[in-house]
Amino acid sequence: MYRREFLIRAGRMLGGLAASSLLSRRKAAASPADSSVVKLALCGDVMTGRGIDQVLPHPSDPRIYESYVKSALGYVELAEASNGPIPRPVDPDYIWGDALAEFAHHSPNVRIINLETAVTRSNDYWQGKGINYRMHPENISCLTAGSIDCCALANNHSLDFGYSGLAETLETLNRAKVKHSGAGGNRAEAEKPAIFELSENKRVLVFSLGVVTSGIPSAWAAADNRPGVSLLHTLAGEAVTQLAARIERAKQAGDLVVVSIHWGRNWGYEIPQSHRRFAHRIIDEAGVDLVHGHSSHHPKGFGVYRGKPILYGCGDFLNDYEGIGGYEQFRSDLALMYFVSFDSATGTLARLELTPFQIRRFRVNRAGRQEAQWLRDTLNRVGQPLGTQVTLREDDSLELRQQCWGS
């Protein structure tokens, strides 16, 4: 039955038109002033469900199915008790706060996030999972307000409201003209990349995949006749060769390939050797140009291998965790936006810039000097084994030191 319902919804996916301002921005980004550089903007986990959904113009039914909190409004109350009142309803662009000006300043060709929520009216929550994120489909304007180009969906929240919820998520993104990768009506759809045409001979391909270590249930794996996500049970064995085959089928000369991967634990700075080996192998054997890692609730260290950046854990970019204690030492209120510039001719890293933000009242705000210094010191400490160091600039942004590029 779930397959039939999925196909019925999928048949309506192409309806609707994007706002003309969004289309014009994308056309402009496709022909940047400096054609020798391709710039990507990347964020980690963007959680627009649960508490954040409740302050947007079209909140879902607030009932949730967690052990201690039974209403998503509880997360709004925690945030307000911690940082002050949140206006309701907020405008769709409210959540992006100061990030909008940063997007405008950098003018990236493609904006990529990991969307960690179902976008659905469905009440068919995945029982026994513990935490289920949902955003009302009419709140999709919060993504288009940020001119988000691509959502990675191979994560542990895309099927929080079942197969019908996934179908509506895909339908809603398609109607909003927001491309996505990592989930679909079957394995072939889930494994397809999102493709962005920048010029006649330059494209960006985004592949999204998840690993069971991030908490994705094995039952969520897409199959030939079942919807789901592109899921890896291991990073060893044939995982690399299978991914390389997928990339080879889609890649053309001059393409930049991004692999957005949801893997590992939520807390801690350790980079497992299995992650490093896998990242190096997909660069060597599959022609990957950028590894966009996420799942950790805070930014982790990153490396550069053979001129290709590996972001092992980008951290949460937006969440509803304000007022929740227990892991204060990791400063999950601090977020980073990554701007990665590639030499258009060679596909190698030209520049890596990071903009620090702080989450307050369900809004992304530019971080102050003290917070930026904390992030610099943390990234330099955990980046030492990876051969990377960052500098703090006068505008409180960070930049990777090129002479320290390592692995």
Helix (H, G, I), strand (E, B) or coil at 81: helix
pLDDT band of residue 314 (cuts 50, 70, 90) is very high
- pTM, 2 dp: 0.91
Residue 13 CA to residue 10 CA, distance in Å, equals 5
Could you tell me the residue ranges of all domains in the chain?
Answer: 2-404
Looking at 3.40.47.10, 3.60.21.10, 2.40.50.140, 3.40.50.800, the CATH number of the domain 2-404 comes to: 3.60.21.10
Residue 42 CA to residue 340 CA, distance in Å, equals 8
User: pLDDT: is 404 or 84 the higher one?
Assistant: 84
pLDDT band of residue 19 (cuts 50, 70, 90) is very low
**In the predicted structure, residue 24 carries a pLDDT above the cut 60:** no
CB 43 within 8 A of CB 313: no
Q: How many CB atoms lie within 10 A of CB 102?
A: 20
- In the chain, what percentage of residues exceed pLDDT 90? 87
**In the predicted structure, residue 33 carries a pLDDT above the cut 90:** no
Residue 61: left if φ>0, alpha if ψ -120 to 50, beta else—which one? beta
pLDDT, residue 405, reads: 56
pLDDT, residue 303, reads: 96
195-204: average pLDDT: 92
* DSSP single-letter state for residue 90: P
**In the predicted structure, residue 94 carries a pLDDT above the cut 70:** yes
Nearest to 47 by CA among 293, 321, 298: 321
pLDDT in tens, 111-169: 999 999 999 999 999 999 999 999 999 999 999 999 999 999 999 999 999 999 999 99
3-state helix, strand, coil in the chain (%, to 5): 30, 25, 40
